[in-house]
Chains A and B, each alone.
Chain A
Amino acid sequence: MKPLASRFSFYVGFVVGTVLLYVILRPVWFEGIQLAGNYGKLSDRQQQLDKDKGIWKKERSALFNLDHPHHTGEDSRMADELYNKVRILCWVMTGPNNLETKARHVKYTWSRHCNIVIFMSSVEDPDFPTVGLGTKEGRDQLYWKTIKAFHYAYEHHANEADWFLKADDDTYVIVDNLRWMLANHTPDEPIYFGRRFKPYTKQGYMSGGAGYVLSREALRRFVEGFKNKVCTHTTSVEDLAMGQCMEKVGVLAGDSRDTAQRETFHPFVPEQHLTAKFPKSFWYWSYCYYPISEGSNCCSDVSVSFHYVDAGGMYLLEYYAYHLRAFGYRYRYQPPTPKAYRLELSNSLDSAGELKEGTSGVKEHGDDDLPRPDQGQDAGPPPVVGKDAAAAPV
């Protein structure tokens, strides 16, 4: 009797013990995982700083790109060649309130393709890092910030880059395409490029939001102009003031369109350029220097910039430009190789190209549509697609 009873109690005890511990462990386990999660978050900032070390070299508030992004399986010889020969310093107009909401996304997307990137703010931030320009914030400060930013770039980095790009923290720039466009010019030319607007100036001026890029010579003349008081703070409308100064110091307003006359710098997001029907009264129609194309001809295949891009839009454009692609697809528009680079790379690329012709499967599909290198445009107007959009924001 006794041993049976005690054995029975043993089994009961065993079951009770198992169940009890399960019930106790469940919340403890859960909490443990949560704690581990919190610990993870604390070390996130540290992780971020560590990750940055692999990408950038921080020096004097500028980020020097150590290794511009590459894709597995891609042949980026041309892009690498241009990266080394057409050095671009990108400076991004931002402010202390925009660092985490806007500038951060620029930092982790397109600015990685610049040779050097500097974030210009009114206040210095050694961690981000940003340069403190010593101005206040606000629309009326824009030209002051621009003047000081370009002066900073000239004083600290004049010999480390060939071209100097200004962008906003809501501008997305495809820097590789900027290099293609600039490759046919030299940094000693007094020239600057962007989305050309026509009013108020003789030769036009470049839209601030769409970003614009100065040659080293243009930057030198800009700084000189302020020294000699040829250029002054004429207006707080930054892009117009810039255009006025450029005109005064003899810097040419360049034509940034591709060989099919399609625009490369864009003052709005792709959706608006591709689908919106701007009303004729909209300022855009009277501002653009060159004829406006709506629909698919609005934008070059090698577009350089878009404006009013929000955080999600930055990553989306990065995905579209650098990641998502159609396997084996042959693009209609083939941007011609920049003249100075044809001889250098032609040997290696041509032989590789010949091999490629032999192995590629040829579909009967669109043979007549194969573009010649200098042509790009197809005949016929683009179809009318998309709803009528309300006027785009200014």
Chain B
Amino acid sequence: MLSERGSFMKGMVLGGVFCLVLSLLGSFSPITESKTEDHHHHHVKAASKDELQQLSESRLQELNNQLQISCVIMVQPKNLVYWAAALDTWTKHCDKAEFYTSESSKALEAIDLNEKDDWARLHKALKHAYENAGNIRWFFVAQPSTFAIIENLKYLVLTKNPEQPFYLGKTVKSGELEYVEFNGGIVLSYEALKRLVNVFQDEDKCPERQSALWKLSEDKQLAVCLKFTGVFAENGEDVHGKGLFNSRSVDNLISESMDQNPNNVVKGCCSDMAITFSSMSPNQMQVMMFGVYRLRPYGHDFQDILTFYPPKGSDND
């Protein structure tokens, strides 16, 4: 009996020591951390200045000439003010901007898909965009309350080959599925869109209409369909690893940074080369147009290796 107790105590002590050693090693700790995302996280970064300078001038010109963005904006008459704001602001910088609506509106022109279901509408719009792509090899899908800086998107994909499948944006993990948040804008290369349109034909893998019982949001459904074709979501980041696609408004992000980094609010907030912000009011979009395309401090030049010119016929940029 005594020896059993003794053994028990010895066992307990050793067990305790074992636990301590393990937690000190850090391979597991009493605090649960979600370390699951690390090695499955895909990042896509823009080419650095050095990398761009390695390219010959003719190659750079070639890349620039071929680089065109087709913007697919999903609108509805109920958010008419956002639709109008998008039309008047950032979409002017797209090489092609097409508005797809759920139902026609007398106020503004768009391609009327006559479809109330969110996923079915996106499905139709993407198919239409693919069929009418022409020479354009990059597609940017957005909602009207998203503001996008197309020049920064071009910078991100400049050296990426659109014949490769790219599916970029602000990535979020939901269980096992990693998808691009619709709010932050979705970027698809020609190859990714081509594969998507192909898998559209498979009603089992990628139904045009989801069952009423198992409805996924349209951005998740997109990820599911793309996954079947071997295309995975990747997070768009700048050279410092900061996300370029934001699913929140800039005011919101600044506010959060004031709480979290009170001594370094601006640098701790958002990338200098940010591509999208979401949930922006029409007025905030006008302010952002001014902030991005007009307001600047005199005497600070960047001498970027490429030049993008303002679109014809606009005056707020």
Q: Report chain A residues within 8 Å CB of B273.
A: 325, 327
The answer to whether A378 touches B64 (Cβ under 8 A) is no
Determine whether A63 belongs to the interface, using a CB cutoff of 8 Å to chain B: no
A356 to B287, CA, bound (A): 30
**From residue 67 to 115 of chain B, which have CB atoms closer than 8 A to chain A?**
81, 84-85, 88, 93
B305 to chain A minimum Cβ distance, whole angstroms, is 6
Specify the chain A residue showing the minimal Cβ separation from B49: A73
Q: Report chain B residues within 8 Å CB of A327.
A: 151-152, 154-155, 273, 304, 306, 308
The answer to whether B31 touches A378 (Cβ under 8 A) is no
With A6-B3, A316-B250 known as contacts, the answer to whether A360 contacts B298 (CB < 8 A) is no
A21 to B81, CA, bound (A): 60
Specify the chain A residue showing the minimal Cβ separation from B315: A378
The answer to whether B312 touches A365 (Cβ under 8 A) is yes
Q: Report chain A residues within 8 Å CB of B15.
A: 13-21
* A75 touches which of B9, B57, B88, B303 (Cβ 8 Å): B303
With A270-B290, A315-B254 known as contacts, the answer to whether A17 contacts B14 (CB < 8 A) is yes
Specify the chain B residue showing the minimal Cβ separation from A15: B15
A271 to B306, CA, bound (A): 31
B280 to chain A minimum Cβ distance, whole angstroms, is 12
The answer to whether B286 touches A315 (Cβ under 8 A) is no
With A74-B301, A369-B312 known as contacts, the answer to whether A296 contacts B290 (CB < 8 A) is yes
Given contact pairs A20-B15, A296-B290, A361-B65, enumerate 6 new A-B contacts (beta carbons under 8 Å): A13-B13, A17-B16, A79-B298, A312-B254, A361-B64, A368-B312
Determine whether B299 belongs to the interface, using a CB cutoff of 8 Å to chain A: yes
Q: Residues of B with Cβ closer than 8 Å to A?
A: 3-20, 23, 29-31, 49, 57, 60-61, 63-65, 81, 84-85, 88, 93, 149-152, 154-155, 250-251, 254-255, 257-258, 263, 265-266, 269-270, 272-274, 282-284, 286-312, 315-317
List 15 contacting pairs A-B, 8 Å CB cutoff, sorted by A. Answer: A6-B7, A29-B23, A29-B30, A79-B297, A270-B287, A302-B296, A312-B258, A315-B269, A320-B290, A326-B149, A362-B307, A363-B309, A366-B312, A369-B310, A382-B316
A370 to B258, CA, bound (A): 39
The answer to whether A365 touches B303 (Cβ under 8 A) is no
A363-394 Cβ-contact flags toward B at 8 Å (1 or 0): 10111111000000010101101110000000
A309 to B295, CA, bound (A): 16
A17 to B10, CA, bound (A): 9
A322 to B300, CA, bound (A): 9
With A6-B7, A319-B270, A361-B65 known as contacts, the answer to whether A108 contacts B301 (CB < 8 A) is no
Q: Report chain A residues within 8 Å CB of B12.
A: 13-14, 16-17, 20
Q: Report chain A residues within 8 Å CB of B3.
A: 2, 6
Q: Report chain A residues within 8 Å CB of B18.
A: 14, 17-18
A356 to B272, CA, bound (A): 22
A290 to B149, CA, bound (A): 34
* A323 touches which of B255, B266, B312 (Cβ 8 Å): B266
